[in-house]
Amino acid sequence: MTVTIIGLGLIGGSLALSLRQHGLARHLIGVEHNPAHARRALELGLVDAIETDLATAVQQAGLVVVAVPMDALVAVLPAVLDAIGPHQVVIDVGSTKQALLAAVAGHPRRGRFVAVHPMAGTEYSGPDAAVQGLFEGKAVVLCDTGHSDPDAVQLVENLFRALPMRLLYLDAAAHDLHTAYVSHISHITSFALALTVLEKEKEEQRIFDLAGGGFQSTVRLAKSAPATWVPIFRQNRLNVLDVLDEHLHQLQHLRELLASENYDGLAEQIRQANHIQKILP
């Protein structure tokens, strides 16, 4: 199968590597609006060819993967559906789904599109961030599959099972709510933690000297690109605000317990937080 990947960054590039590794793509065509990234993707062998015309790139493919940031995705996906025939399949790999699915709801080719969110990533971006095996053993969410043609869903299921990934099914609203909890809020807290430490700790050398593994792991996501994350926060704004308000409430509560020297109360909250280890061992 020929696969066209639009957007050769972390996710698009890593998916190219995975599809090739598992023999799922015979020929890989890339579309990438950043010329430096396009050249680099060829150098790295992520794709076999770069095509500058979207319609030409799409028409050659059995499967089209749209792997651009969420703001571009809402514009590019309808254009891709405009260009495909009745037997081609299109997927996205975006982090929010409601706005995207609304944007293609009435499209005559809606059935050929399957909304996909692989729950995998790193804090890096661009073709150099592409890593072999990024998706292996991770979850992939398929959204609102009832609106996609059964053969398109089956092709996508077989493809992601082969990587191998664990398939989950959610409607778009549930997807956007749950990802606010288990992904988007982590990025907000990590950005805020980096800003806190950079603000308070003017001697940057001290951060470097002293930072242990704990700090590095909580602040890792703060390296993530604004071009990726602002559109995600924008499209999932109400869910993110809701979870963020709960997080602020929890932090305020811990602050009050410490300020009032209620150490039994603080220990009880930490014991509650420890329950996370039953879920994420």
Residues 172-191 that bind a copy of itself (CB under 8 A): 178-179, 181-183, 185-191
- Residue closer to a copy of itself by CB (options 34, 60) is 34
If binding is defined by CB under 8 A, does position 200 make contact with a copy of itself?
yes
- Residue closer to a copy of itself by CB (options 162, 241) is 241
- Residue closer to a copy of itself by CB (options 42, 197) is 197
Smallest gap from Cβ 203 to a copy of itself, in A, equals 8
If binding is defined by CB under 8 A, does position 43 make contact with a copy of itself?
no
User: For 167-201, b where at least 16 C-beta lie within 10 A, e where not — what string?
Assistant: eeebebeebbbbbbeebbbebbbbbeebeebeeee
What are the structure tokens assigned to 132, written together?
């072999």
Residue 50: phi, psi to the nearest 5? -110, 130
If binding is defined by CB under 8 A, does position 36 make contact with a copy of itself?
no
- Residue closer to a copy of itself by CB (options 52, 132) is 132
Q: Specify the amino acid at residue 228.
A: T
Number of residues that bind a copy of itself (CB under 8 A): 92
Task: Tell the residue number behind the tokens 């909250």, with chain if given.
Answer: 269
Smallest gap from Cβ 112 to a copy of itself, in A, equals 26
User: Which CA distances in Å does 9 have to 31, 124, 127, 281?
Assistant: 11, 9, 5, 31
Residues 101-160 that bind a copy of itself (CB under 8 A): 119-123, 138-139, 141
Residues 209-248 that bind a copy of itself (CB under 8 A): 209-227, 229-230, 233-234, 237, 240-248
- Residue closer to a copy of itself by CB (options 4, 236) is 236
